[in-house]
Structure 1
Amino acid sequence: MVLLRSCKFADRSLLSYSSSISRVLFTASFSSTKAQTPSIQSHDLLLYKRISPAAITPRTSIVPILDQWLQESNEIVVDKLKNMIKVLRNHNRYTHALQLSEWMTNRSYLDQSSGNIAVHLDLVSRVHGLEQAEKYFDTIPDSLKNFKVYGTLLNCYTFKKSLKKAEATMEKMKLLGYMTSHSYHSMLSLYNKTRNHEKLVALIHEMEKTGVCYHRTTYYLQLTAYASFDITAMEKLLGYMEANPNLSLDWHVYIIAAKGYLNFGQHKKSREMLKKSEGCVHENTNGVAYEILVTMYANLAEKDDVYRIWDLYRKRWRKINDKGYHHMISSLVKLDDIVGAEKIVTEWESVTRSFFFWVPNILVNAYSKKGDWKKAETYVERLVGMGKQPPTSTWDILATMFCKHRQMEKAVDAMRKAILSHHHDHWEVNQVTLTACLKYLEEKGDVEVAKEFV
């Protein structure tokens, strides 16, 4: 969520940078475990099978399973059990990883080293939130609060976008001499996420003065920052990066520059950067490159280029996922090519296995904005007829559209369906539409239905 957020597009390899900092800190914290991707070996395979994500649900406690393992007189190898914490964490089973950490600590399998404490702090933050993480941090003896522990606390704040607390922690670490390259980059990612680009650049200059590791990721962050407020500085830095033989630039850097030029209304230069970006896209490049190019060309109102990139995407990439279709449909809607969007939606319907409604919702929204409520209604009815179950978001869009066009009976019906489907969806219904439906019901005298809505 880091490097390209300010450019309103996403790439998995760059956007995962914030979490990669956390992974580096997490791996480094286990002093007796080699810094490598965790794997399950023969000894602990049986135990892992019992507590693996495939074996138990996220809400099931693994503590009874661990206790049973001991009751069966099975051996405990500490390093391998610590490795399981990594594996569980890498599968986003943070609660289970924390339970295992606590279980090992309570039975003295884990010593109270700063590395183990740092790992535990990270897990507490992810499972119970910052407040509990801070409480746990306060219980740690000062003698064990080294750069690993402070670095983890800093990463907890940056992950939760807690800017003031992160900055306070950074200043404390500077006083203690604990700032590392990972700590600096954690703060850079936070400044980028919160769009504090001037602070980001200032911190990079500080890194230059202090001789902290300054690599390609740092340049990308700095370029992203300049792209938002200083086009001259962006051009100067891009020229330096292109001339630097030690930097291997890829398609991302030109996308950042293209967005910068677009921000300043220089469409011709933006298009030139997109062409350079295309030159760095190869057949084995992640499909996200095509998705971003499609979106960028749509932002420039270059319809022919949007279709050209889409054709390249389909030829070079083995299977376009829902996200790829989402980008293309959104781009065509932005270009007011509703007919083209309808064709892509039809194609998506024929190949998708999951049928997530955030893809067809684009079309429903487009119809709504154009005032074609009958077409939107017919489309959703067709999906329902196919056995699909629209979520709250879809019904809410329809309810708002019907309300706007004074089709209040239809609006009330759609709002009722939105409310009934809400437990399957995180969408929050439009409060203005809900209020309008309640007012209509009260004026009509349907008090009981109004109470049901409330």
Structure 2
Amino acid sequence: MWALRRASLPLSFPLASRNQAFNIGTSRVCCANLELPMTDRHEDVCFFESCKSLSDECLPSKRLYHTTCVSWNFSMDKHSLSSQAGAKSNGEEDDLEDGFSELETPSSVEAIPEINGNDENIDELISEPELSEVDEEVEVSQHELELSETETDPSDKISRKKRNPLALYKAILAFPGFSVHGALDKWVEEGNEINRTQISMALLNFRRRQMFGRALQLSEWLEEHKKIEFNERDYATRLGLIAKVRGLQRAENYLEKIPKSFRGEVMYQTLLAYCVSTSNMKKAEEVFNKMKDLEFSVTAFTCNQLLLLYKRLDKKKIPAVLLLMEKEDVKPTAFTYKVLIDTKGQSNDITGMERVYETMKVEGIEPEISTKATLARHYAAGGLKEKAEAVLKDMESGSLKQNRWACQSLLPLYAELGNANEVRRVWKVCESNPLFVECLAAIEAWGKLKKIEEAEAVFDKMLKSGKKLSSKHYSVMLNVYANNKMLDKGKDLVKRMADNDCEIGPLTWDALVKLYVEAGEVGRADSILQKAAQNNQKKPMFTSYMTILEQYSQKGDIHNSEKIFHSMRQAGYTPHLRQFQSLIQAYVNAKAPAYGIWERMKADNIFPNKSALAQLAQVDPFKKTAVSDLFD
């Protein structure tokens, strides 16, 4: 029996406002107290009607439909789900957070038989950066490194390299320039072997450090030189990297070249994960339908990806996915509950969030640290300090030294509660031998508490570690300067990045944009973003564009708002509701009519919620007024 169905607790999700909600009564999910948005086209305006109950006929099929009409229907005749166009967004309003564009495809599609985790962890590696405060880095234990570095037998040099799982990765990094092919050719010429463990660790580290181009070169070289026999997951690795580096169209072209015997479910899971990572709702649903056409079974992985997508872009569809899971007898995983808990928290439904959390435990699924961190974060955001502190103490489980892995979550959460003493206590546990993820969490925490010197001290500790820092590491410190409006220090840090040959990429651009915006220099931020978009192969993050668009919108600057809106489309970000709302607000603030804005929304298959309808009414060039009636 499905866990959420058994629970006698309602799951409610908001529509256009908090006063409008639809509930899934889990005593009988498919028909009890279910209110779903139905739309009626009348004079080009969408109105919501509620459907109090659905019979079994109304249960969605395993197929998703993306249509050109501006409606979202549960059709008795078609048994289908239809959607509006999705696009990348961020923020609490539309449920996306910074860094979402950097999400990765599942590690299960990597060729990593030696270190591959269980299937339930696949979702974590795709989506965890959005649900946790800091991405987790892949690091080999200190003991393992010491063993590989203290070998004393000179004749065992090649054997040492073979045993050290990071040897190949380090050799590629150390090779002059950026030619991965050259590094690999040299590696083989020196008599070194290439095994799957080394390949796995190299790919994993490249991906974690966002060096997707190098990871793709490694995969290309392996296929070209046939150093390993490619299996389905190896092809899927290549497919995901092509999508990440060269775009979805190139990935789909490569898919057609893969031998049919290897064109299985993992391939389409990879494409689905990529579409979710880029918030491409239309394409994600197309991939889902393709999987249905190929008669792949509906899995927890697939449903979890849809839940994650809809949490960010269209919460109204979450109940439909839950219904689908029940109909197909798909058991919710820990990640399913985590997404639902986060959705509830973002909707300020603390009672609902607690019910989902309790249901999770009743069903025998032990909440992980990241799930508890999500719970505590929403308690803190809701001003429930005592409840948040109770969860944090539970995360510590008595002894932090024995539960060291909790520190990276505890640091920013204690800072969220404004408790500097607790941040200092937790950091003291890590300070003598910190991992980079703990350092980043500490920098973030001290930044939230506006203790800049403490944050800088931790950053200097990272610099002195002897390890090369990536743009991600610098960006955390850069964001601290941005949040505290320290423009000069931020500029100096970027110069230091360049001096240390650190790649200046999307994360850095995003932090720079925020830095200049917080300093009141929106035009300068705009200029940096436009240059970054024109002169680099990588596209800027969605959040970078939205930060500037919202600033122009607040000023009522229609010209520049339209320019940024157009730039986002050029960069490949399909418009969705939040972008249009920011654009419309520019017209509202400028007290100017927005000719054709409704037609533009319909062309992108987007329909307004309650607040957007109110905005549209304000900028309607043909609206009736007392004066206009007199002249008519």
Query: Normalising to structure 1: TM-score of the pair?
Result: 0.62
Question: Equivalent residues in 2 for 1:54-93 (5 A)?
Answer: 54-56=173-175, 60-67=178-185, 80-92=194-206, 93=211
Per the TM alignment, residue 237 of structure 1 is displaced from its structure 2 partner at its CA by 1.9
8 Å contact 1:251–1:278 — kept in the other structure?
A: no
Cα distance in 1 between the residues matched to 2:513 and 2:98: 30
List per-residue Cα deviations over 1:133-162 (Å, max 9, x = no partner): 111113335454211222222222223332
The AA in structure 2 aligned to 1:217 is F
Residues 141 and 242 (structure 1 numbering): CA distance in 2 closer, same or farther, change over 3 Å? closer
Aligned residue for 2:479, secondary structure, equals coil
8 Å contact 1:255–1:273 — kept in the other structure?
A: no
Q: Does 1:160 align with 2:278?
A: yes
The AA in structure 2 aligned to 1:279 is K
Report the aligned-residue RMSD. Answer: 5.2
**% of aligned pairs identical?**
19
2:422 to 309, 314, 318: 309
Question: Equivalent residues in 2 for 1:49-198 (5 A)?
Answer: 49=168, 52-56=171-175, 60-67=178-185, 80-92=194-206, 93-109=211-227, 113-178=231-296, 179-192=298-311, 194-198=312-316
More off after superposition, 41-50 vs 319-328: 41-50
What is aligned with 2:110? 26
Aligned residue for 1:202, secondary structure, equals helix
What is aligned with 2:587? none
Q: Does 1:42 align with 2:159?
A: yes
Residues 181 and 61 (structure 1 numbering): CA distance in 2 closer, same or farther, change over 3 Å? same
Cα distance in 2 between the residues matched to 1:395 and 1:271: 33
8 Å contact 2:107–2:116 — kept in the other structure?
A: no
Cα distance in 2 between the residues matched to 1:195 and 1:148: 25
Per the TM alignment, residue 67 of structure 1 is displaced from its structure 2 partner at its CA by 4.5
Q: Does 1:362 align with 2:483?
A: yes
What is aligned with 1:328? 446
Per the TM alignment, residue 36 of structure 1 is displaced from its structure 2 partner at its CA by 4.3
What is aligned with 2:346? 228
The AA in structure 1 aligned to 2:159 is S
Question: Equivalent residues in 2 for 1:412-427 (5 A)?
Answer: none
Cα distance in 1 between the residues matched to 2:528 and 2:227: 53
What is aligned with 2:33? none
Residues 295 and 204 (structure 1 numbering): CA distance in 2 closer, same or farther, change over 3 Å? farther
5+ residue gaps, structure 1: 299-305, 332-340, 366-375, 405-410, 434-454
8 Å contact 1:115–1:148 — kept in the other structure?
A: yes
Aligned residue for 1:190, secondary structure, equals helix
Residues 107 and 233 (structure 1 numbering): CA distance in 2 closer, same or farther, change over 3 Å? same
What is aligned with 1:335? none
Residues 398 and 141 (structure 1 numbering): CA distance in 2 closer, same or farther, change over 3 Å? closer
List per-residue Cα deviations over 1:297-336 (Å, max 9, x = no partner): 25xxxxxxx23433433444436735424333334xxxxx
Cα distance in 1 between the residues matched to 2:235 and 2:307: 25
Cα distance in 1 between the residues matched to 2:289 and 2:185: 43
Q: Does 1:279 align with 2:387?
A: no
Is the helix fraction higher in 1 or 2? 1
Query: Normalising to structure 2: TM-score of the pair?
Result: 0.47
What is aligned with 1:240? 359
The AA in structure 2 aligned to 1:24 is S
Question: Equivalent residues in 2 for 1:302-451 (5 A)?
Answer: 306-318=419-431, 321-331=439-449, 341=450, 344-350=451-457, 352-353=459-460, 354=463, 356-364=477-485
Per the TM alignment, residue 394 of structure 1 is displaced from its structure 2 partner at its CA by 7.5
8 Å contact 1:242–1:249 — kept in the other structure?
A: yes
Q: Does 1:291 align with 2:408?
A: no
List per-residue Cα deviations over 1:13-49 (Å, max 9, x = no partner): xx99964x61122247xxxx55548999939639955
Is the strand fraction higher in 1 or 2? 2
Cα distance in 2 between the residues matched to 1:359 and 1:329: 5
Per the TM alignment, residue 169 of structure 1 is displaced from its structure 2 partner at its CA by 0.7
The AA in structure 2 aligned to 1:147 is E
8 Å contact 2:222–2:228 — kept in the other structure?
A: yes
Cα distance in 2 between the residues matched to 1:421 and 1:138: 33
Residues 241 and 132 (structure 1 numbering): CA distance in 2 closer, same or farther, change over 3 Å? same
Residues 195 and 261 (structure 1 numbering): CA distance in 2 closer, same or farther, change over 3 Å? farther
Cα distance in 2 between the residues matched to 1:65 and 1:349: 36
List per-residue Cα deviations over 1:43-98 (Å, max 9, x = no partner): 963995597244225x53233454566667x587xxx4444432321121543443
What is aligned with 2:58? none
8 Å contact 2:239–2:251 — kept in the other structure?
A: yes
8 Å contact 1:364–1:397 — kept in the other structure?
A: yes
Residues 156 and 276 (structure 1 numbering): CA distance in 2 closer, same or farther, change over 3 Å? same
